[in-house]
Structures are given as structure tokens and as C-alpha cells.
Amino acid sequence: MDASDGMDIFAIREARGHPWIISTSRHISQDAVSLLNQRWDAGGQTLWGRSAVIGGDPYVMTVHLPQGFKLQSAEVNGEKVQMRNQIETATARIVPTTTQAVEWKMTFAK
């Protein structure tokens, strides 16, 4: 495969002063299908939300990290969560056991 045979996908999101989901892995729209809602709690430095996931299909949420933020913990309806912090983004990855809508919570340190 030649490098020119590939495809790039861009997601344009509003800049925010706190962590916010910028993409999910479930659909080419990067969140329009699976991300049901999200809200930021400044007092608890916590991002809460709900996502529609498919059993056995890895689901990755990518979060923008404004300067000084780091993903500290992530919980998704009792599923095992793999977290990874990068310079400007963090990811939370699960492989759901069933097809369902899951509640999730990510806590950040600043």
C-alpha cells in the first residue's frame, strides 16, 4: 500500500479550558454516534459522561488535556480501563463485555 492510498480524518472541536472528549474510536464521526453526553465538574476536576458501546469491540475515548492537566483515574461501569497520558491528550480504553450504554467518569490532576 502506498502512503497516498490512506485517508485522514480531522475533528474540529471548540477549545475549552478543561479536559474534554475530542474523539472516540467507535465511528468515523469520532463521537457523534457513541458519545451520548458529557459534563465537566470543575470542583471535582471530573469529566462525566455516557457512551454507547459494542460488546467485544475496543472503545477508546481521547481527551484533550489543556496545559497542566493529567488524567489521574478512569472508571467505566466496572469495566477494566487502560489509561494513557500524552502531552496534550489522554486516552481511556475499554473492551466492553456487552453491548450497552455505559456511564464513565474521568478524574484529572492539575
Q: Where are the domains of the chain?
A: 3-109
The string of DSSP letters for 10-35 reads -------SS-EEEEESSSTTSSTTTE
Q: In sequence order, what are the residues at sequence separation of 6 or more whose Cβ sits closer than 8 angstroms to the Cβ of residue 4?
A: none
State pLDDT tens for residues 36-85: 999 999 999 999 999 999 999 999 999 999 999 999 999 999 889 999 99
The residues, any chain, with a CB within 8 Å of residue 31's CB and separated by 6 or more, are 11, 21, 22, 23, 24
The domain over range 3-109 is classified in CATH as 2.40.128: no
Highest mean pLDDT among 17-26, 33-42, 87-96: 87-96
- Bridge partners for 29 per DSSP: none
Output the nine-digit C-alpha cell for 87.
502531552
Give 8-21 pLDDT, tens digit per residue. Answer: 666 666 777 899 99
| This prediction's pTM | 0.83
Query: Do 89 and 63 touch, CB atoms closer than 8 A?
Result: yes
Return the sign of the alpha-carbon dihedral for residues 106, 66, 93, 24. positive
